[in-house]
A and B are shown apart, each in its own frame.
Chain A
Amino acid sequence: MAAIDLAAAPERSSRRTADRLPGRRLGAFLLALAVPLALAAAWEAAVRTGLSTGRLMPPPSRIAATLAELAASGDLAAHIAATTLRVGLGFGLGAAAGTALGALAGYSALARRLLDPTLQGLRAIPSIAWVPLFILWLGIFEASKVALIAVGVFFPVYLGVLGAIASVDRKIVEVGRVFRLSGPALVHRILMPAILPAYVVALRAGLGLGWMFVVAAEFMGASEGLGYLLVDGQQVGRPDQIVAAILVFAVLGKLADGLLVAATRPLLRWQDVAAPAGEAAAARPAVAPAEARA
């Protein structure tokens, strides 16, 4: 649709397209919701009419009630806080280590030859396999959980930074050399901005894995947290509690990713093709809808 509209009036249609964009996005959003909502409604109807007891798969109303109950008692907030804190700590540590080592290995060939084979070897170990060792080393409480999450976050960030530095355009680096930038200035003025888009992608991948590993961490014995809700729901036979926790995970994961994207957007303004008015939007109309979704 967008491409056809713009092709008909390529010159000055960018403004109108930009105005219509929110409406079309809302439409797409509602369309995307149609299938899950229809399934939920169908399941609710099936339980209400007695076609199913809803014992193993509770209807949406019961899940909503469970969520409301958890929220009212303050338990939900406590579980969310515990899980978020673990992800936050693990992500912070893993991303910091991944960034530092990725930058070192990306910048120095010696460091790369020294570190990369070892790290790639460690990466081949399924992260969950560390759990028994972490428990022995760090105990059953927070430290071992945070360590597992940090390991999960570390590798995508490390690989992302390393790859991003390797793929910085040599021609752009030469511009820095022509202006006789010192090593630190070259890093600060050329390399860092050049890798930023790929770095944000690496952080998002790491954060996603952080949410994945927090579940594994909380499975290995926790007295609070959303992962605990999952295990507890299984042990006491309450699928509504399990589904409620799953839904909260989905919302939190999406929220955290959205926050990360929003926080880095101002730094990537130069790249963002969806928003700007004027010639840029007109020049690359086909890109705009795709970027808006990303």
Chain B
Amino acid sequence: MSGARLAVTGLGKRYPNGTRALEGLTLSVDGGEIVAVIGGSGCGKSTLLRILAGLETASDGTATVAGETIRGPHPAIGIVFQEARLLPWLTVAGNVGFGLADRPAEERAARVAAALAKVGLAGYGSRWPRELSGGQAQRVAIARALVVRPAVLLMDEPFSALDAFTRLDLQEHLLEIWADTRPTLVLVTHEIEEALLLADRVVVMRPHPGRVGAVLDVALPRPRAPGSPAFEAAKRAVREALGRSLVHHRPAPGVQEADGRALAAG
């Protein structure tokens, strides 16, 4: 199964206290594309993801998956949170198979085993979540999201709670896992390097209210090499876009950021 197209049009989110978390956000993500959404805290990137996941409702605008409006958690959309959020009373296998409760036991066992093998945790099925390291727990969470073969996978800063080595390992591993079913992947992150390592496009968000500041195509060949001149140049470009987003707290009327600026092709 390959990814489904995500489209967000004029999305706005106001909280009852008057905070405008998102305003007029328009974005589309092609099926199977990997998009990183980057921005400082308070720019609404997590709100965007939660609306896509159906966990929050938008105040204005629409979000669709494969042309279908998202009104709540959608069967085609999986999500990995910043924390693993494993259910402590289920074994690793029970957690991974959580979304497969309606499948026959043999099929469930086979798919759980395959998903665990895919994330490098073959044989861990009978462990309890408390016996896992942070990186292992997050890999179980990724397996839990992918085992139901979603057409879209949302990831909300999935590696930010991990130590540097584990993070690097998972970042490298993620593309391999992704390549299996090639879901559309929307990754929220605050790390420029992580965004450039993984994404086809980087969406830079601006705060107050949250909206798209710039969309940058990442034309670097894979596997990407952090430290290479092209990679460093791309990093500078993202940092520059981020800096502009931070300086302009309020949108000047009539000023629009040019979208689709291509970064240095490697």
Contact = CB atoms under 8 A, between A and B. Distances in A.
A179 B147 CA distance: 12
B75 A175 contact: no
A175 B85 contact: yes
B131 interface: yes
Interface stretch (B33-41, B76-84, B217-225): B76-84
B131 A172 contact: no
Interface of A: 171-172, 174-175, 177-180, 189-190, 193-194, 196, 270-271, 273, 276, 278-280, 283
Contacts of B87: 172, 175, 190, 193
A178 B131 contact: no
A193 B86 CA distance: 13
26 contacts: A171-B83, A172-B87, A174-B81, A175-B87, A177-B54, A177-B55, A177-B73, A178-B53, A178-B54, A178-B55, A178-B73, A179-B73, A180-B72, A180-B75, A190-B87, A193-B87, A194-B89, A196-B89, A270-B90, A270-B91, A270-B129, A271-B89, A273-B130, A276-B131, A279-B131, A280-B130
Contact of A193 (B55, B72, B89, B148): B89
Contacts of B54: 177-178
Contacts of A193: 87, 89-90
A271 B88 contact: yes
B178 interface: no
B140 to A, nearest CB: 12
A278 B130 CA distance: 12
Contacts, number: 53
A65 B72 CA distance: 72
A238 B87 CA distance: 57
Contact of B78 (A178, A189, A190): A178
Interface of A is mostly: helix
Contacts of A276: 128, 131
A198 to B, nearest CB: 13
B75 A172 contact: no
Contact of A270 (B72, B75, B88): B88
A205 B128 CA distance: 28
Contacts of B53: 178
Contacts of B75: 180
Contacts of A273: 130
Interface centre among B79, B89, B101 (most CB of A within 10 A): B89
